Structure 1
Amino acid sequence: MKIQKETIEFEKGKSFKLFSPSLKNCFFWHYHPEIELVYVEAVNGIRHVGKDISGFTDSDLLLIGSNVPHLNFDYGIQTECKQLVLQMRENFLQDIILPVPEFENIRTLLERSYLGLSFFGETKRIIIEKLQIIKNKGSFESLMGLIDILQILADSNEVKELNKEDTRIKWFLNDKIRMGTIYDYIHENYDKKPNVNEIATIVSLSTPAFCRYFKKQTNMTFTDFVNNYRINQAKIFLLKDYSVTEVCFQVGFESLSYFNKLFKQHTGETPSEFKKKHFKAIEINGRIGTISRDSSCNK
């Protein structure tokens, strides 16, 4: 889970690029200087932006600032996943937005994007439509369309800040303990018995010091974080048509009743209700043919 710097190439004469990536089960924990607007559509998925790790349902629209580490949004998704990613050149803010007084609100939006911004409601619906439109436009029209999109986002109140503080790569590189090591441990052990004493030893801290550190970085206890991760993984297995009992033990819970209780606390519905609701939606929409239990890395 070492953080990787992604090198982004642009077409000559273009200020941004708009494309549909597909990494699927590859774990690509990365950053880049370019500001990025991401739309992802899936029955269920995990967003990991900066320190924030949370789930989304149906779709998500995010603005991610320069050098903010994030995970590919199709990671672990076994149902159909649609993505549109718009990346602006590194100098987009400085050369195109800053010199123009009329772009003041857009400037504020882009400067604030280092927190990771998730948009919802009518704003998300409108932006999705406009992204689809500019895909087929020429260079000048698409640039004007992007400015229009940024203005709508800048004026919207339908937005949630994912992080409370700066989580750009400088923060991660200056972090002597490196949260990446902890994420790696949880990712590899969530289905077993992640032990707070063991991970504390790995990062060279006493258990009490580790617990204080972890709570400060994530605003969650280690146990709550692991359970949250397990619930998100459970959603993925449920959508691969495993039974509730299979999923319970596959993600590391030892009690079916506790799993059901915790799942409902996190999602507002039981595992059975979640599976029935979303499988029905998949069948009705015809989004997928057969959901495979196999995992592969498709780049």
Structure 2
Amino acid sequence: MKVILEHISPDDNSSFKVFHIKDIPISELNWQYHYHPEIEIVCVLKGKGTRHVGYHKSHFEDGALALIGSNIPHSGLGLNATDPHEEIVILFREEILSLPEGEPDSNAIKKLIEMSRYGVLFSSEVKNRIIPKLEVITQSEGYTRYLLLLDLLFELSKTEDYELLNTEIMPYTIVSRNRVRLEAVFTYVENGYQNEVDIQQAADLANLTKPAFCNFFKKATSITFVEFVNRYRIDKACILLSQEKSIAESCYATGFNNITYFNKIFKKYTKTTPGQFIRSL
């Protein structure tokens, strides 16, 4: 199964999307594993469930507040939720912020956006402080709502009461930032990750020699091509394990030919073993 690309349309007369889920039975909601170019602020005001953001998966009991970066695959915070469930979600593209260069306040928000690439979980104290601001945004319109979004981001940028949900940037985030220059290479990995992925063939697709391609890829993405392929495969393995596939099936179906090596790489990127990941589902 592929991770679903979700298409988000801004609200009428607005540059971003806001929705408030309330009084809707959990059975009527869809928690597909998906990604989108928009950055997402999601706050569960009441309810419990599972956080599945990138490689991270954990349970929460009394609501949650998270910032999910552009193109990070996730299932939201409603996975395995029970009624009653209430959440507010804000989806926006980074380019709408138009932050001035060199201003301390702008730099703080830019740092927050950069951290969002890993997924950010805020404390219960921050969540409770932010909820009134979120509720006001849901009732606002036009430029006032835009200014309230900036105020919300600035408030979040000031706190140090948070944790990063992933230690590695997800493959989909890397792809989105370099899609134009490396389109053919990414397509090659997407279509062939189940089999042997050859660096020389990738270099040929980029019209570069193998050494030049390795240098170019590292500069463009901040990781090596081999790291990218391994991250992509582990991302797919997480999906298969979530679908009740065995560790061996997930290993061989994602291009690994050695379970010991698969376990090692899986733990490197997810900070948990495949067995522990299955038990957390």
TM-score normalised per structure 1: 0.67
8 Å CA contact 2:44–2:63 kept in 1: the answer is yes
Question: Is 1:20–1:85's contact at 8 Å kept on the other side of the alignment?
Answer: yes
Asked if the contact 1:40/1:61 (under 8 Å) is kept, the reply is: yes
| Contact 1:43–1:59 under 8 Å retained in 2 | yes
| CA distance in structure 2 between the aligned counterparts of 1:8 and 1:224, rounded to whole angstroms | 34
Q: Which structure ranks higher in relative contact order (CA pairs < 8 Å, sequence separation ≥ 6)?
A: 1
Pick from 118, 126, 144: which aligns with 1:141? 144
Once the two structures are superposed, residues 149-179 of structure 1 have per-residue CA deviations (whole angstroms, 9 ceiling, x without a partner) of: 1111000011111111211515585536633
* 1:179 maps onto 2:254 in alignment: no
Q: Give CA-to-partner distance per residue, 1:76-122, whole Å, 9 cap, x none.
A: 323221111001135224xx224572422111111221111111133
Question: Larger deviation: 83-92 or 156-165?
Answer: 83-92
Q: What amino acid maps onto 1:178 in structure 2? A: R
1:87 to 2:91 alignment: yes
- State the match for 1:20 in structure 2: 20
2-side partners of 1:123 and 1:20: how far apart? Answer: 19
**Unpaired runs of 5+ in structure 2?**
176-189, 191-227
Alignment partner, residue 11 of structure 2: 11
- 1:15 Cα offset (Å): 2.5
CA contact (8 A) 2:53 2:76 kept: no
Give the AA of the match of 1:19: F
Asked if the contact 2:55–2:235 (Cα under 8 Å) also holds between the matched residues in 1, the reply is no
User: How far apart, in 2, do the equivalents of 1:49 and 1:219 lie?
Assistant: 14
Query: Counterpart in 1 of 2:197?
Result: none
SS state of the match for residue 280, structure 2? helix
Q: CA, structure 1 residues 178+103, in 2 after alignment: closer, same or farther (shift >3 Å)?
A: same
List structure 1 segments (4+ residues) > 4 angstroms apart after TM superposition.
21-25, 170-174
Aligned residue type for 1:30: H
Residue-by-residue CA offset, 1:170-207 (whole Å, 9 max, x unaligned): 55855366335423332232xxxx64334333334212
* Kept after mapping to 2: 8 A contact 1:69/1:168: no
Give distance in 1, aligned partners of 2:13 and 2:94: 14
Identity %: 30
Q: 1:34-67 deviations in whole A, cap 9, x for unaligned?
A: 1110011444211111111111111110111111
Q: Counterpart of 2:75?
A: 71
2:134 aligns to what?
A: 131
Residue 137 of structure 1 deviates from its aligned partner by 2.2
**Distance in 1 separating the partners of 2:143 and 2:239:** 44
Residue 2 of structure 2 corresponds to which residue in structure 1?
2
Is the CA contact (8 Å cut-off) linking 1:121 and 1:158 kept in structure 2? no
1:1-299 equivalences in 2 (<5 Å): 1-21=1-21, 24=27, 26-93=30-97, 96-99=98-101, 101=103, 102-171=105-174, 174-175=228-229, 178-189=233-244, 195-204=246-255, 205-229=257-281
Provide structure 1 residue ranges, at least 5 long, that are not aligned to the other structure: 230-299
How many residues are treated as equivalent by the alignment? 223
Classify 1:221/1:169 alpha carbon distance in 2 versus 1 (closer, same or farther; 3 Å). same
CA RMSD of aligned residues (A): 2.4
SS state at 2:160 partner: coil
Q: Distance in 2 between matches of 1:27 and 1:179?
A: 21
TM-score of the pair, normalised by structure 2: 0.71
